[in-house]
């Protein structure tokens, strides 16, 4: 990922053709079931290793259909670089792809900068599966952009709680020298709090180098998560279960004067979960479960008392 490369490149006789998405999805399932070790090498060769808890492949996809080729090396102008995220069979619900797409739409409604996203439908074992796909922001055609995560910048672990959002916002200003980028990070923090995305560890925030300067990278890995002990991995002013006051303290420390407007905009977007999830035909079980968790969180419930959803 990012712009770094190994030289010399690993010798390979592979051409640009790769297995179909159906074959890749099948191989992911076989790897998880432990029935075919050899496909691990196949997936590594064709997809690379984006990391994370869920199996993924990086590919180049045609702009007008789902035809895909290897993303290694130069790609034709009619292709873009994408990541396809499969689901973890024993942990994720069947609708995991649609859940993550609903979250990406919710984030866009909250004015969070997101790469293009979509669903990829694949028939697997006589059943249609919906997989979440996101366009890579570290690739612009055949140009590779340098990316560094917050964990990499600060040399800290992402595997356990280690920082506060105050650290993130200060790091954003240190890297970008741009207060508008700090406000972008603040908005993302508010979204994670109100949308119940508690897997907000230090590797889920990154910086990208474009036009001779560093910027906060577009948001990624936004979905419902209960985190560790149902608390945010990145604290908000010292709180793992942040209140509106916690957010206000961050805003005061970073002199974000319009923080209330940002919070209300994100609150309105997070309140659209039920509508977005229904439109994507996510089962009512998950719609209700996630809504209950979101609405019962301290910050969301405070806002609901001050600004009833019926008024939004």
Q: Go through the domains of the chain in sequence order and give each one's CATH number.
A: 21-140 (no CATH), 145-311 (1.10.1070)
**Bond prior to 145 in cis (omega within 30° of 0):** no
Pair of tokens at residue 99: 């859940």
| Nearest in space to 142 (alpha carbons), one of 19, 60, 44 | 60
Asked if 239 and 166 count as a contact pair (C-beta separation under 8 A), the reply is no
224-233 confidence digits (pLDDT tens): 999 889 999 9
Containing 127, the helix (H) or strand (E) segment is strand 127-135
Alpha carbon distance, N-terminus to C-terminus of the chain: 40
Query: How crowded is residue 24: how many other Cβ atoms within 10 Å of its Cβ?
Result: 24
Calculated CA dihedral for residues 301, 302, 305, 311, nearest 10 degrees? -80
What is the pLDDT at residue 144?
93
Separation CA 258–CA 240 (nearest Å): 24
Confidence of residue 307 (pLDDT cuts 50, 70, 90): confident
Quick check: 179 pLDDT over 90? yes
Containing 60, the helix (H) or strand (E) segment is strand 56-62
What is the pLDDT at residue 44?
46
What is the pLDDT at residue 26?
67
Calculated CA dihedral for residues 242, 243, 245, 249, nearest 10 degrees? 10
Judged by phi (left if over 0) then psi (alpha if -120 to 50, else beta), residue 196 lies in left
158-169 confidence digits (pLDDT tens): 777 789 999 999
In the chain, what percentage of residues exceed pLDDT 70? Answer: 84
What is the pLDDT at residue 34?
47
Quick check: 54 pLDDT over 90? no
Separation CA 156–CA 154 (nearest Å): 6
Quick check: 234 pLDDT over 50? yes
What is the pLDDT at residue 12?
56
Separation CA 6–CA 19 (nearest Å): 25
162-184 mean pLDDT: 96
User: pTM for the whole thing?
Assistant: 0.87
Quick check: 125 pLDDT over 90? no
What is the pLDDT at residue 35?
44
Asked if 41 and 94 count as a contact pair (C-beta separation under 8 A), the reply is no
244-280 confidence digits (pLDDT tens): 999 999 999 999 999 999 999 999 999 999 999 999 9
Pair of tokens at residue 94: 């069947």
Pair of tokens at residue 240: 């793992």
Separation CA 168–CA 162 (nearest Å): 11
Separation CA 129–CA 25 (nearest Å): 9
């Amino acid at each position: 990922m990012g712009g770094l490369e190994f030289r010399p490149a690993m010798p390979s006789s592979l051409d640009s053709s790769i297995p179909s998405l159906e074959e890749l999805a099948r191989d992911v399932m076989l790897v998880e079931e432990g029935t075919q070790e050899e496909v691990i090498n196949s997936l590594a060769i064709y997809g690379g290793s984006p990391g994370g808890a869920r199996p993924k492949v990086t590919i180049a996809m045609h702009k007008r259909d789902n035809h895909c080729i290897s993303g290694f090396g130069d790609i034709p102008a009619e292709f873009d670089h994408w990541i396809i995220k499969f689901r973890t069979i024993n942990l994720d619900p069947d609708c995991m792809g649609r859940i993550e797409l609903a979250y990406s739409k919710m984030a866009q409604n909250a004015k969070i900068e997101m790469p293009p996203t979509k669903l990829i439908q694949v028939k697997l074992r006589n059943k249609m599966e919906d997989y979440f796909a996101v366009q890579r922001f570290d690739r612009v055609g055949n140009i590779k952009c340098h990316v560094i995560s917050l964990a990499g910048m600060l040399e800290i672990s992402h595997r356990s709680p280690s920082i506060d959002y105050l650290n993130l916002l200060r790091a954003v200003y240190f890297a970008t020298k741009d207060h508008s980028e700090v406000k972008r990070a603040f908005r993302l923090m508010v979204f994670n709090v109100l949308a119940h995305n508690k897997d907000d560890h230090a590797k889920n925030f990154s910086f990208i180098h474009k036009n001779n300067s560093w910027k906060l990278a577009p948001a990624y890995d936004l979905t419902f998560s209960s985190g560790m002990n149902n608390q945010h991995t990145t604290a908000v002013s010292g709180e793992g279960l942040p209140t509106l006051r916690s957010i206000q303290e961050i805003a005061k420390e970073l002199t974000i004067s319009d923080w209330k407007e940002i919070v209300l905009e994100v609150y309105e977007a997070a309140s659209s979960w039920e509508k977005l999830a229904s439109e994507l035909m996510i089962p009512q079980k998950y719609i209700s479960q996630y809504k209950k968790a979101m609405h019962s969180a301290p910050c969301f419930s405070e806002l609901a008392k001050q600004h009833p959803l019926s008024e939004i």
